Amino acid sequence: MKTEARDPIPCGVKAVLVIDDHPLYGDALASTLRRAFQDCRVETATTLCDGIERVGADFRPDLVMLDLKLPDVTGLSGFLRLRDRMPDTPILVISALTSPELVHALMAEGAAGFLPKEASSQVMQHALCVVSAGRKYLPPEYAQSRRDPSLPPDVHAISQRIAELTPQQTRIMKLICAGKPNKQIAYELQLAEATVKAHITALLRRLGVQNRTQAAVLAESVNLDEAV
């Protein structure tokens, strides 16, 4: 990993809420934060609802570090709910979902920044300092592509596209997002495999994407259940 050029940034990180559904990762992240920032209070949660409940009179985080894959939310919906609940608190998304479409959709919806989960502790510390100073943070590879005209349709446009799918296409879309191959989809929906292929061709055309992977990326950007 290349070292980023950094200007000195005063860091005032005193309280952080970490929401991640893997307890070991969340605890490791909390330990790293406590080592990096003296007297930093860190609270962890494994679901969005649990994270929201941690915030109260005795705990007001300076920022939130949020994973996108949580048991009680799907795709961008967890971020949107947290943003609406805590509009004045910066939210730094840290996720294994790293597609440019998803990252730029997050930034367009008001995220304070994004970090891939494989980021080093030094990069994470720098990102937190940037965010705590009221600035936005993106790794260089994402920041350089922000003006690419092919990225991204906003989250509302994505929701509209998905809402226009037929009920059968929506069921197939959910199974695609679950990683099911055509044969398994056909078995679960009791359809001929040729029929499944025809439905997939039609839904890809309707979503304006070229393949199953791109379709799944779009679906990760919204809550599929709320979009339909």
CATH number at residue 107: 3.40.50.2300
State the pLDDT at residue 194: 92
Cβ atoms of 103 and 92 within 8 Å: the answer is no
State the pLDDT at residue 9: 55
Which DSSP helix (H) or strand (E) runs through 162? helix 155-163
State the pLDDT at residue 1: 40
State the pLDDT at residue 148: 45
> Is 36 inside a domain boundary?
yes
Phi-psi region of 2 (alpha: psi -120 to 50; beta: other; left: phi over 0): beta
State the pLDDT at residue 224: 53
> Is 83 inside a domain boundary?
yes
State the pLDDT at residue 155: 61
State the pLDDT at residue 184: 93
Q: What is the CA radius of gyration of the chain?
A: 19
Domain encompassing residue 206: 155-227
- Residues 118, 165, single domain; the answer is no
Q: What is the residue type of 4? A: E
Number of domains in the chain: 2
- Residues 37, 133, single domain; the answer is yes
- Over its length of 228 residues, how does the chain's per-residue pLDDT go in tens digits? 444 444 445 577 899 999 999 999 999 999 999 988 888 999 999 999 999 999 988 999 999 999 988 888 766 778 888 999 999 999 999 988 787 777 888 888 899 999 999 899 889 999 998 998 889 999 888 866 554 444 445 566 677 777 778 888 888 988 888 778 899 999 999 999 999 999 999 888 888 778 887 777 777 665 555 444
DSSP character string of 17-63: EEE-S-HHHHHHHHHHHHHHSTT-EEEEESSHHHHHHH-BTTB--SE
- Residues 104, 166, single domain; the answer is no
Boundary residue ending a domain (92, 123, 143)? 143
- Residues 97, 162, single domain; the answer is no
- Total length of the chain: 228
- Residues 27, 101, single domain; the answer is yes
> Is 216 inside a domain boundary?
yes
Boundary residue ending a domain (88, 115, 143)? 143
Q: What is the DSSP letter of 165?
A: S
> Is 195 inside a domain boundary?
yes
State the pLDDT at residue 116: 92
State the pLDDT at residue 193: 92
Three-state SS letters, 175-225: HHHCCCCHHHHHHHHCCCHHHHHHHHHHHHHHHCCCCHHHHHHHHHCCCHH
> Is 6 inside a domain boundary?
no
Q: Give the CA count within 13 Å in the CB-facing half-sphere of 152.
A: 26
Q: How much is the pTM? A: 0.66
Q: Is 167 helix (H, G, I), strand (E, B) or coil?
A: helix
- Residues 166, 129, single domain; the answer is no
Which tokens in the block code for residue 28? 């490791």
How far apart, in whole angstroms, are the C-alpha atoms of residue 57 and residue 15? 13
- Residues 112, 172, single domain; the answer is no
> Is 3 inside a domain boundary?
no
How far apart, in whole angstroms, are the C-alpha atoms of residue 159 and residue 105? 12
